Structure 1
Amino acid sequence: MKIRKFRVGWVVFSLSAAAVLVYHQVKAAEPSFDCTGVADGSIEAMICQDQELAALDIKLSEVYKQAADKATNEHPPTLKAEQRGWVKGRNECWKADDKNLCVKSEYQRRIAELQARYGLIEATASVTYLCTDQPGSEVIATYYPTDPPTLIAERGDSVSLMYQQESASGAKYAGRNESLWEHQGEATVIWGYGAPELNCKVKP
C-alpha cells in the first residue's frame, strides 16, 4: 500500500512538473507584442508560434529601448520612423522562399545595427585605412562583436554601417552601397554605388 501511494504521488508530481515546464515554454515563446489579434498566416502569427523568433523579438524590444534612451537628443529624431519602416520590411518576408530564415535574419541584423549605431556594445577595434590612390583619403572602421559582426565606417562626412559577409579569405563587410574587404593589413574599399575600388593600407 505504501508503494502504491508513493507511485501515485510520483505520478502527480511528474504531471505537475510537466505542466509547469509546458507553461514556462509557452510563456517563453511570447514575443513583445500581443498575439491575440494577429491575422492567421501573417508574419506576426509565425513569430508567435516560433520560440526562437519570439525570443529574438523580445531581444530587439529590449535593445530598441536602450537605443531610444540614447536617441533622446537625436536631431532630427529618426529612430521611431526607422523602426516602423523595419517592421514593414520584416513583414515582407512572406514573399521569401524560407520565411523563417528571412525573419530571423531581419531580427539579427536590426539588433546588430542598433547595438553598433548607438554604442550599446563595446567596440573591439578601431582601424584607420589610408587609401593611397586618393591622397588624403582615409577610412576609419570601428568593429563591433555583434551577431552578425558589424563595422561602422567613416569617410569624410559619410558614414556606413556594414555587416560581415562570407569570404574565402580575410574579412569582408558590406553595407547599402559600400564595402570593405580587409586582408593582411590591406583593404579594398568601395564607397558609393558604382564607385571605383580604393586600395588602402592600415595606418601605422
Structure 2
Amino acid sequence: MKIRKFRVGWVVFSLSAAAVLVYHQVNAAEPSFDCTAVADGSIEAMICQDQALAALDNKLSEVYHQAADKATNEYPPTLKAEQRGWVKGRNECWKADDKKSCVASEYQWRIAELQARYGLIRPTASVTYLCTDQPGSEVIATYYPTDPPTLIAERGDSVSLMYLQESASGTKYVGRNESLWEHQGEAKVTWGYGAPELDCKVKP
C-alpha cells in the first residue's frame, strides 16, 4: 500500500511539472522576429526575453501589415524605409538609463502613428480652427483614440502628426515642428520650426 501511494504521488507530481512546463512554453516571449538570430545583449534579445515587449512587437507587426495593405499605392513609397529607420531608432534605446521603458515607448508611439496616419482606427472628432495670421487661414485637426492619443493636423498642403502631452490646462498636442494647445474653444498653434504662435478659434 505504501508503494502504491508513493507511485500515485509521483504521477501527480510529474503531471504538475509537465503542466508548469507547458504553461511556460505557451507564455514564452515570442516576438514577430526570429529570436535565434539575435545577438546577446542586444535590444532584440531583451525583447525576446520580455513578454510585455514581445507583445508590443507582435502588435506593431499586425498594425504595420494593416498599414502596408493601405500603402500599396503610396507615392513615393515611404512606409518600408520609415520602418527600417524606426527599428534603428528603437535599437538606440541601449543608451537609455531605463531601456525597457524606452523600447516600450518607441513601440507605443509607432503603433499610434501608423493607426492614425493610415486610418486604421476610427477618429473621435474632426475640428476646424480659424487662425488670425491671414484671411482664410485654418487648421483642421482630426483626433484619434490611439495610445497615446494622437491628432493629424492639416494646414494648406502641410500635414503634421501630433501626440498628446501633459498639460496644466486644456489639451496640448506636439509634433515634430508643430503644436496645438486647445482650451475652451481657443487654440495656440505653432506651425513650423521657429514659427510664431498663432491664435485660433474653433470654427462654429
| TM-score computed with the length of structure 2 as normaliser | 0.92
For the structure 1 residues 181 and 14, does the alpha-carbon distance in structure 2 shift closer, same or farther, using more than 3 Å as the test? farther
SS at match of 2:172: strand
Matched, 1:194 2:194: yes
Identify if the C-alpha distance between structure 1 residues 185 and 41 changes in structure 2 by more than 3 Å, giving closer, same or farther.
Answer: same
Cα distance between partner residues in 2 of 1:41 and 1:31: 16
Q: 1:32 to 1:187 in 2, by over 3 A?
A: same
1:16 Cα deviation from its structure 2 partner: 3.5
Deviation at 1:97, TM superposition (A): 1.1
Q: Is the 8 A contact 1:131 1:199 kept in 2?
A: yes
Partner of 2:121, secondary structure, is coil
Q: For residues 154 and 46 of structure 2, what CA distance do their matches in structure 1 show?
A: 38
* Consecutive unaligned residues in structure 1, runs of 5 or more: none
Distance 1:2 1:125, change over 3 A: farther
TM-superposed deviation, 1:15: 4.3
**Aligned counterparts of 1:125 and 1:3: Cα–Cα separation in 2:** 72
Q: Is the 8 A contact 1:28 1:55 kept in 2?
A: no
CA distance in 2, matches of 1:7, 1:141: 70
Answer yes or no: is the 8 Å Cα contact 1:116–1:144 preserved in 2: yes
Q: For residue 30 of structure 1, report the CA deviation from its aligned partner.
A: 0.8
How far apart are the structure 2 equivalents of 1:186 and 1:59? Answer: 36
Aligned residues: CA RMSD: 2.3
Distance apart, 1:9 and its partner CA: 6.0
Mapped to 2, the partners of 1:165 and 1:6 lie a distance apart of 63
The residue number in structure 1 matching 2:169 is 169
Once residues 10 and 123 of structure 2 are traced to their aligned partners in structure 1, the CA distance between those partners, rounded to angstroms, is: 52
In 1: Cα distance, 2:48 partner to 2:31 partner: 6
Distance 2:187 2:21 in 1: 51
Label 1:108 to 1:7 Cα distance change in 2 as closer, same or farther (>3 A): farther
> Distance in 2 between the 1:110 and 1:2 partners?
62
Share of identical aligned residues, percent? 91
Q: 1:179 to 1:22 in 2, by over 3 A?
A: farther
Q: For this pair of structures, how many residues does the alignment match?
A: 204
- CA shift digits 1:46-99 (9 cap, x unpaired): 101111000000000000010000111111111111100100000011111111
* Residue number in structure 2 paired with 1:43: 43
Relative to structure 1, the CA distance from residue 10 to residue 119 in structure 2 (aligned partners, 3 Å threshold; closer, same or farther) is farther
* Superposed CA offset, 1:82-130 (max 9, x none): 1001000000111111111110000000000000000000000000000
TM-score, normalised via structure 1 length: 0.92
Shift of 1:27: 4.3
Instruction: Name the CA shift for 1:136/1:55 in 2 (closer, same or farther; >3 Å).
Output: same
